[in-house]
Amino acid sequence: MTGTQSFTTAQICTVAATAENIQQRDFLAVEEPLEIRLGITKNGKSNQKAISITMRTPGSDFELAAGFLFTEGILTSSDQITWIRHFGAPIKINGLKNTVVVDLYEGVDVDVTRLERNFYTTSSCGVCGKSSIESLHTGVKHISSNGFTLKRGLIHRLPDILRKSQDVFEQTGGLHASALFDVDGNLEIVREDVGRHNALDKVIGAKFLDGAVPLSDKILLVSGRASFELVQKALMASIPVLAAVGAPSSLAVELAAEFGMTLIGFVRDDRFNIYTGEARVV
């Protein structure tokens, strides 16, 4: 690695196999581990509890930590948090700090028993180590029919809006993205990451820290497939519509149907499939 372009991209020397081998630079998405810790204070004494290690693209680390703790059902309100901070010595190669501590107010009670499963996650799988399928229903509530609808033409426009906002993807081609839109199709927030679950946690975490959840009048678009875990995280934030550029999994469809979410897949090339919640699309 010859130098850091930013927290999200790095340059590396490569050899291109053409008629003649040519040495040139390419941009890669940065992937680094992030440890998330809870700072818990009881009886005036503070200690840190390691919660998770995830492989992520640096940037929006505080949003990622907050979003993860919320979508896993560990925290319920940003008012429980005193502050969020990086911890430890920076990594020499790029100056990053790969540990985030979420400090809670004294007296905030968190159910650490729900953490009795392996929280090691990778960029390709955010549910590795889940102890049981039941543990994935972490406080998810059924989404009510509150008159929320969206037009088919709006759905067709979303992928183009998302792609134009993916700055790092344009350089690297190696990142997932999650974007939140209002009912009129206005882009509110987009985040990128090597892990699709991390990109979504960053989006939800930003809204969570702003005190803006539940997101019961928003549309979520993800750049890849719709996995079970993405549906679960979106349901935790009460997002009524999840649209994906790629395919949903069978479990994603089952969970969306069970909890009243509209799940849309293959949103590209002026077409899409509605798998659940068709009544919201007019």
Could you list the active site residues? 125
Between the alpha carbon of residue 236 and those of residues 40, 91, 106, 145, the distances in Å are 23, 34, 25, 16
Q: Which residues of 158-179 are buried (b: 16+ CB within 10 A; e: fewer)?
A: bbeebeebbebbebbebbbbbb
Task: Check if the beta carbon of residue 54 is closer than 8 Å to that of residue 127.
Answer: no
Tell me whether strands 241-244 and 262-268 are parallel, antiparallel or unpaired: parallel
Task: Check if the beta carbon of residue 203 is closer than 8 Å to that of residue 189.
Answer: yes
Task: Check if the beta carbon of residue 17 is closer than 8 Å to that of residue 23.
Answer: no
Task: Check if the beta carbon of residue 63 is closer than 8 Å to that of residue 57.
Answer: no
Q: In the beta sheet, which residues pair with residue 172?
A: none
Burial (CB count within 10 angstroms: exposed 0-12, middle 13-18, buried 19+), residue 211: exposed
